[in-house]
Amino acid sequence: MRFSALLLSGLLLGLTAQGQTIQRCAADEVYAHEVARDPQREAFRAETEAEMQRVQQLGMPESVVHQIPVVFHVMHYDQGDNISEAQILSALQILNEDMRRTNPDTGNLRALFKGVAADMEVEFVLANKGPNGECTNGINRQWSPNSLKANNAIKSELNWPNTKYLNIWVVRTIELTGITPGSIVLGYSAFPYNGIPVTQDGIVIRHDHLGNVGTAAGTRHRTLTHEVGHYLNLYHTFQNGCGFGDQCADTPPVVSASSGCNAAQNSCSTDSPDLVDMIENYMDYTNDACMNTFTLNQKARAKAVLNSPVLRGNLTTAANLLATGVTGTLSCSPVADFELTRSLLCAGDALTFEDYSAYLGNPIYHWNVLDVNNQVVHHTTTQNPSLVMANPGQYTVSLTIQASNGSNTMNKPLALTVRPAAGTTYSPWFIGTMEDPLPNADWTTTTFADSSYWRRTTVASKQGSASYLFQNHKLPAGGEVSSLIAGPIAFANTGTLNLRFAHAFVRRAASNNDQLKVFVSSDCGATWQLARLIPAFQLGINGAVTTPYVPAPADWKYTTINLASLGLQGAGDLMIRFSMVSGGGNNLYLDDVQLTTTLGEDELAAPSMWVQPNPSRGGATLVGAEGRVRITDLSGRVVAELTANGEATLPELSAGTYMLHTAAGVLRWMVL
């Protein structure tokens, strides 16, 4: 039958998260977008339906458990979304229990549907052998800025043959054409057709909706179960509304996507007998806790796909299971793989690793740490070493695995930065000069080996002859990709310490949502506190410039941040981090970074945050603030702390002038 792009328009869940709409699945929107680009896709879908009918007419047995090799590509942006193996295993366990109907909530299915509930007889197994015969645990890891606002483009960065593996890309967030901007998309999958390329196939899913531990703790997430249904050519139960668009006679029609868990819901009367909606079906949009079943007709469709040699059939053949290490005696070459626990240390700190290597037997490890002159400063054969880094500098780290089936080496050139152990004392204030190329004694970046992000420039400056430029103009809107870091800096407990810096920026379009985040650390970068978030409209001049931006002298602005609001007085050495979150805007310039004890007028916050009434007698309310708020007097002494969630009641204080310090800025509050 013919499925029009119009009928496949997406339906949103009636859920919000901090004002954002949650969309459980975007498979229909992705398909509609592909049809708009290539109308031939509708013919492919018709061919798929015809092929499934052909296979079903052959009467091939369904009582066979099909195994499918799986590879997870963890496309992480930072440590938070570089999820653990335990989280991936929990996701696979939930998926397989749901597919085999061994899930612990099968008893929640209502009696009228128990007769059509199905064991899908499909199991998903992590691959043990990669496409080139290498050992694997079925999990690849790669840093990617495209993990933010991911779409099909991320599939080109890392993939394995889709005729041999189910590729699952785990990302931070998803943003797609056809989806309301700002919506939270949980995942999407490709529908099968003959010859589908790997760059259009597979599943993309958010890390925090995968499994039930780690970043997805607390809920038995069924997003992967739902997307695997699409991968096996199952449609939404609400496909085409009260028609039978999902091609399954044993799923009652649903007029539109369900939400919540309303057992009394009966949105269509076109079925006979007229049944309530099957809110328990994995292919609806009900809550994860409400879902618990596939049906016999859905199983028949999935089995037809798996029995077809031109759809998903090759995945489950004995030859492919042997080639991917799912069955048989495993023989594979080792793979060295690791990540640094921290890429920024201070002299005297210990360097440790996350080891993701794959091998057979008991290999020998060779860790090497080399300085910029390729001189070895550490060598060890300990599998999980802790190496004290004595001297500041930039270092390359390598790991060689020697196993019975060969050896393999991974190099991470200049991946480690070690800063001085003790902060440099600057008097009377620290002035972060931008006169020297990066990295230098004062400044480094998280991508100093790649000058396409931060670099020194002489085309504009606020003081001296140079500034530091973040080349935002040539980056896609996708989030923070590099940070500029100063310190450690020694300072005395002066009562009031302020960070002051000059910046210049302009948007390329009014819709650009770039942000500059300023962080401070008092433990050499082990942890960072957000000191200020500066949105695009505050960061630079008004208007839009489409060509690479070079600021005029009048374009520069100053921002001052009172660090007393972070509780850092007397904390010792400080590190400062400037992180640009790219939102499609133009270049950013930084200059004249100072630590001072002078309170600046430029420290006042944006008009989107205010105190009412101000001045006040008795009660007052802080409006427009989020997160931690510190209230200080003019000497910098903290007099109160509270947490704001859009609005907060301020405490009653004695008459005087107070400063309200938030991540978005500082407000002056007068009490009469």
For 16-62, write each residue's pLDDT tens digit.
Answer: 443 457 888 988 999 998 899 889 889 999 999 999 999 999 887 66
**Average pLDDT over the chain, rounded to an integer:** 87
Residue 221 CA to residue 423 CA, distance in Å, equals: 46
Q: Across residues 191-202, what is the average pLDDT? A: 96
Q: Across residues 540-561, what is the average pLDDT? A: 93
CA distances, 587 to each of 476, 591, 642 (Å): 12, 14, 36
Residue spans in the chain of domains classed CATH 3.40.390.10: 16-58+65-102+119-234+296-323
Q: Does pLDDT of 555 surpass 50?
A: yes
- What pLDDT, on a 0 to 100 scale, did the predictor assign at position 619? 76
Q: Does pLDDT of 419 surpass 70?
A: yes
Which of 395-404, 427-436, 571-580 is most confident? 395-404
Least trusted range by pLDDT, from 166-175, 232-241, 338-347, 662-671: 662-671
Q: Is 647 assigned a catalytic role?
A: no
Which H or E element spans position 318? helix 318-323
- What pLDDT, on a 0 to 100 scale, did the predictor assign at position 1? 23
Q: Across residues 213-239, what is the average pLDDT? A: 95
- What pLDDT, on a 0 to 100 scale, did the predictor assign at position 277? 95
CATH of domain 16-58+65-102+119-234+296-323: 3.40.390.10
Beta partners for residue 611, in sequence order: 622
Name the band, by pLDDT with cuts 50, 70 and 90, for residue 285: very high
Q: Which residue has the tokens 């008991």?
A: 362
- What pLDDT, on a 0 to 100 scale, did the predictor assign at position 480? 61
Q: Does pLDDT of 656 surpass 90?
A: no
* 287-321 per-position pLDDT tens digit: 999 999 999 999 999 999 999 999 999 999 999 99
Give the torsion through C-alpha atoms of 338, 339, 340, 344, to 10 deg: 150
- What pLDDT, on a 0 to 100 scale, did the predictor assign at position 14? 35
Of 220 and 21, more confident: 220
Domain spanning 610-671, CATH architecture = Sandwich (2.60)
Residue 241 CA to residue 434 CA, distance in Å, equals: 62
Q: Across residues 325-343, what is the average pLDDT? A: 95
| Amino acid making up residue 128 | N
First to last CA, the chain: 75
Q: Does pLDDT of 120 surpass 80?
A: yes
* 490-504 per-position pLDDT tens digit: 765 545 678 889 999
Q: Which CATH number fits domain 338-419: 1.10.1520.10, 3.30.1950.10, 3.70.10.10, 2.60.40.10?
A: 2.60.40.10
Q: What percent of the chain has pLDDT over 70?
A: 89
Residue 201 CA to residue 222 CA, distance in Å, equals: 20
Beta partners for residue 76, in sequence order: 143
Q: Across residues 224-242, what is the average pLDDT? A: 96
Helix axes 296-306, 40-57, angle to 10 degrees: 100
Q: Across residues 481-492, what is the average pLDDT? A: 80
Residue 391 CA to residue 378 CA, distance in Å, equals: 12
Q: How many helices (H) and strands (E) does the chain have?
A: 7, 35
Of 243 and 117, more confident: 117
Of the listed 227, 280, 339, 480, which one is catalytic? 227
- What pLDDT, on a 0 to 100 scale, did the predictor assign at position 484? 93
Q: Does pLDDT of 547 surpass 70?
A: yes
Q: Does domain 424-598 have CATH number 2.60.120.200?
A: yes
Residue spans in the chain of domains classed CATH 2.60.120.200: 424-598
- What pLDDT, on a 0 to 100 scale, did the predictor assign at position 321? 98
- What pLDDT, on a 0 to 100 scale, did the predictor assign at position 19? 42
Name the band, by pLDDT with cuts 50, 70 and 90, for residue 603: very low
